[in-house]
Amino acid sequence: MTGIDGIGRVGPTRSSARTKRAQTSAFAVPTESSATGHAEAATETEEIALTSMLSLQEFGGDAAADREASRRGEDMLSALAELQRALLGGVDTVETMRRLAELAAAVPRAANPQLAALVSAISIRVRVELARRGG
């Protein structure tokens, strides 16, 4: 046999090898012992899923505390920026100082140690500004 335009020979196709493999592996109904193994695996999967859900619920409280602390930190930063603009513009800072005092009065504790340190540093800066300006 010749190939395209008479060059080379055509060898056996790969599809014939696939066909032979397909004929040797047929569909088989699982035996009772393999079905038991699948049930055990399903039970283990359910236990892992339950453990994961419980962990997420515990973490959910931490996430809420972190969100609240992050939100308060952002509010304090925006109030500090507002104070800076007011001081540079010669505008009355009484309202901004009141807002800073309220924000610094109740700073929630973050569960994440890095976030807690950051919010604490912002809170200290707010207290410094309040002390400097007699607020």
- Tens-digit pLDDT profile for residues 34-56: 555 555 656 676 676 666 555 54
Any domain includes 124: yes
Any domain includes 30: no
pLDDT, residue 18, reads 55
Any domain includes 17: no
Any domain includes 43: no
pLDDT band for 101, please (50, 70, 90 cuts). very high
Residue 133 has pLDDT above 60, yes or no: yes
Any domain includes 106: yes
- Owning domain of residue 102: 61-132
Put simply, whether the predicted model's pTM sits higher than 0.95 gets the answer: no
Total count of domains within the chain: 1
Can you spell out the DSSP letters for 42-104?
HHHHHHHHHHHHHHHHHHHHHHHHHHHHHHHHHHHHHHHHHHHHHHHHT---HHHHHHHHHHH
